[in-house]
Structure 1
Amino acid sequence: MLTLALLSMVASAPMPLDGAIKRYNALPEVTLPVAIAAPDDAPRVKAFALPMWLTKVALDPVEASALVGLVEFRGSASREERRNWTAGEYAAGLAAQAARNANHERTITPKGIDFDTVTPPLRTVEDKSVIRYQRRLSELGSCTGALASALTKLRAARPSDDFTHFAFRARQRLGTAMLPPDTTCVRGT
């Protein structure tokens, strides 16, 4: 009897992603709400549609908030102009990534990301999407360290999914704001 009660409590417990969506949608100045949608429903949803598979990823509340806040990057990656980066820019980006990873677990960029369509690795925080995202992270009680942690979980769960690629492109758009990721909101740091 006790086991059945515990199982029903766990099944009815709100997921961190649900709470993060509710908090985000309640924020002032939100122009596009966030929702969870199945792939077939996503085009019809009048919201930023997070994939249904995210509900099965074990996210902490701060990680869920960091992912929900990615709505601030909606459409911005697809509007960027194609550009070929110089060898020096690639080398600087690799050096920055190596420095960042010195104290963190090794990260691997998922297959399928076209580096010619995203911003250079070392970018100053001047992009409006980056500024909005950083403000939303603060409003949601999250931080860039939670985003880095969530990206590790996304890569493990669905490395070739469109949302995973979108999230990694958003991390790259954050540029120097992710060097190193702020871990003040992550438990155990």
Structure 2
Amino acid sequence: MEKPHSPACERNREPILGVLRAHFADRRRVLEIGSGSGQHAVHFAAALPQLNWQSSDRAEYLPSIRAWLDEAALPNTPPPLALDVGGAWPSGPFDAVFSANTLHIMAWPKLQQLFARLPAVTTGDAVLVIYGPFNEHGRYSSDSNAAFDQSLKARGAHMGIRDAEAVDALAAAAGFALVDDAAMPANNRCRVWRRVHG
């Protein structure tokens, strides 16, 4: 099949990689939730060969991910897994979890399920990195994010940019504490949590 291509992945992959180099340096097994086109998985696995990069997404996205992984033929990218956060999860344990541009697409109850399931599949010191737009104290960080949020809600009432503090509360309930909040291009953030208990 012809591989789908995401221009956004091309634009944001290097800034994200900088965060991953710092926080995944001592990690070995990563679960990527919502791998989308598969571009991030290939780029990050190639740049960070010490990691076993396990991509995953809903079943309809797996052919795209396989196309990217098969072409790259990297030794550290196993076949992608079907993962809907409300369904069955892989057994793990993973010492790192990564997700990009997913929280504003999923309904809030799905976000709650995602964080609630993390303790069962991660190690006691796992690192969680999530990339995307966030609001702070209920306010947009830019006019472009406000417009993006309006376009999301027009696509589906369950979508929308999430409030950073609300996501932090979900992470804390799962035993993860915020350790970094890196500014990214186009008014996005890379927020990093480390599991501290649970």
Instruction: Provide TM-score, normalisation by structure 2.
Output: 0.28
Higher relative contact order at CA 8 Å, sep ≥6: structure 1 or structure 2? 1
Instruction: Provide TM-score, normalisation by structure 1.
Output: 0.29
Which has the larger strand fraction?
A: 2
Which has the larger helix fraction?
A: 1
Larger Rg: 1
